[in-house]
Chain A
Amino acid sequence: MNTFNEDRRNDNDEVSMMLNDLPQVDPPASLAPTVMSTIAEHAKAPVTQPQVTFTRRGSRMAKGTTAKRVLWSVAAAAAVALVALRVAGYPPVEEGTEATIGAAQRYQAPQIAAADVKVEDQQFQSFLQSDLFRQLVNDKAAREALKDESLQKALSDLNVRNALSNEVIRTAISNNAVLWAKYLANNDVINQVRLDAKNLAVLQAALTASPALVAAISNVNIADAIANSNLALVLANSEAMVAVRNDAVLNAMFNASSNARIDAVNNASSNASGNVINK
């Protein structure tokens, strides 16, 4: 039966009376023994034993199972990764495209824009229109060699170019691609090539740093380009080097007529790959 306290006796409306009419139900006789036996097992078990939850029909279920923990771990790791990517700004979103409906925000490598390649020097333009440059970039091996950063760095040094402009040195190195260091250490050779100690050290350092340079010296077009002072214009012009590394630009360049090469490059490269060489 219900137990009435003072407040409850004051709840004498119809609803309260119906609620009070609901019987107090005796708990199942097994409740207390089940609880105590579970506690006894718990007392014997290690502290790390998972908590116990009773489910329907009196069965017991361990909470905090491995699967649940793994699920939560994976979810947490995914959340952390998403936050990290978000903070890092991936995928990048270009300005002005935020409102593009349905546009895939996939990553795109930066393309060479019209303003990226500029040819402002008349001498450089002349070099680009020369037969030497045409031969150089039409030579696949030479083009590949020029793409090598160590080679570019080595040839961007005036002292190195000056040293390599000596045909005796180039010939000696190309003939002794493996033993060039020993060759250059020979006093007779040094006397022959007439390099002072400083320039010799610079050349040796450049050759040591760039095996690609050593290999490229035997290429006649590279050799001619090294001997041509205008090569420095290309090597010193980082924007031009971007064009040299880009096959699309080079192909466009040399598919054009020699007289209107630059203009043709501007048009062809912008259509082919978005690369433009501006005057």
Chain B
Amino acid sequence: MVDTEDAAIVARCLAGEHNAYEAIVHRYQKGLFNVALRMLGNYEDAKDATQTAFVKAYEHLDSFNPEQRFFNWLYRILKNECLNVLRGRRPSEPVSLDLPAGSGADPVEARERQQAVQAALLALSVDYREVVVLRHFTDLSYDEIAATLGIPLKTVKSRLYTARQQLGDKLVGWHVAR
């Protein structure tokens, strides 16, 4: 689906055909949900943030610029929701890392490693975390990340480099089974 198709769906929604919005939800729900999941580290919070982002996007469809990529606009709404959730958390509140584990030769080790990676991800600042999340959990290129975040390309690369350095420091001793 190209952006012109998104724009056409938006036009139908604005004309009163609200069921047309379902195509957009199905199109982007997996990407947005995984972004929220990695940003928040909690399944339920990610689900709530994603649902809220979709509803808010629908409520403000009239402010969407069809010349803009729909995902970029949707992501900004989701990011605000994630920030709201993070702000609502008390500093001492433990974050659930009960995330689905991937497959591997050693499921137990893979699960522990993935939990360590997720914990390290949550320890990053939001600015660093989001470039990592957009880079590794969406199909966005560096240029697209820059456009989505509204920052220069070199800033994206710089943040990504620093974020990986910080993650590397936190994940010493962990390796991916080859």
Contact = CB atoms under 8 A, between A and B. Distances in A.
A39 B55 contact: yes
A21 B178 CA distance: 11
A36 interface: yes
A19 B167 CA distance: 10
Given A22-B102, A22-B136, A42-B59, A35 B164 contact: no
Contacts of B44: 56-58
Interface string B38-76: 100001110111111011101100000000000000000
B25 A32 contact: yes
A7 B99 contact: no
Contacts of B10: none
Given A24-B137, A40-B18, A34 B51 contact: yes
Interface in A52-72: 52-58
B33 A31 contact: yes
B48 A55 contact: yes
B33 A25 contact: yes
A3 interface: yes
Q: Count chain B CB atoms within 10 A of each CB in A34, A54, A56 and give the residue with the most.
A: A54
B59 A32 contact: no
B22 A32 contact: yes
A32 B47 contact: no
Contacts of B30: 24, 26-27
Interface string A9-38: 001011111111111111110011011101
Q: Is the interface of B mostly helix, strand, loop or mixed?
A: helix
Interface string B103-146: 11000001001100110010000000000100111011110000
Contacts of B171: 14-15, 18
Interface string B7-46: 0000000001011011001100110011001100001110
Nearest to B19: A36
A43 B137 CA distance: 33
Interface string A171-199: 00000000000000000000000000000
Contacts of B118: 22
A97 interface: no
Nearest to A53: B52
A255 interface: no
A37 to B, nearest CB: 10
A8 interface: yes
A94 interface: no
A58 B47 contact: yes
A103 to B, nearest CB: 39
Given A15-B171, A25-B37, A42-B58, A35 B141 contact: no
Contacts of A19: 117, 121, 132, 136, 167
A25 B99 contact: yes
B101 interface: yes
B48 A58 contact: yes
Contact of B51 (A16, A18, A35): A35
B150 interface: no
A13, A15, A32, A38, most chain B CB atoms within 10 A:
A15
B176 interface: yes
B135 A11 contact: yes
A2 interface: yes
Nearest to B88: A55
A31 B137 contact: no
A39 B132 contact: no
A20 B178 CA distance: 13
Going nearest first, the 5 A-B pairs with the smallest beta carbon separation are: A23-B102, A27-B33, A54-B48, A19-B136, A54-B51
Given A19-B121, A31-B33, A42-B55, 4 more contacts: A18-B174, A24-B30, A28-B47, A55-B48
29 contacts: A2-B136, A2-B137, A7-B141, A7-B142, A11-B136, A14-B175, A15-B164, A16-B136, A18-B171, A20-B136, A21-B102, A21-B113, A22-B38, A22-B117, A23-B114, A25-B34, A25-B37, A25-B100, A27-B50, A31-B33, A35-B58, A38-B55, A39-B58, A42-B59, A43-B16, A54-B48, A54-B49, A56-B44, A58-B47
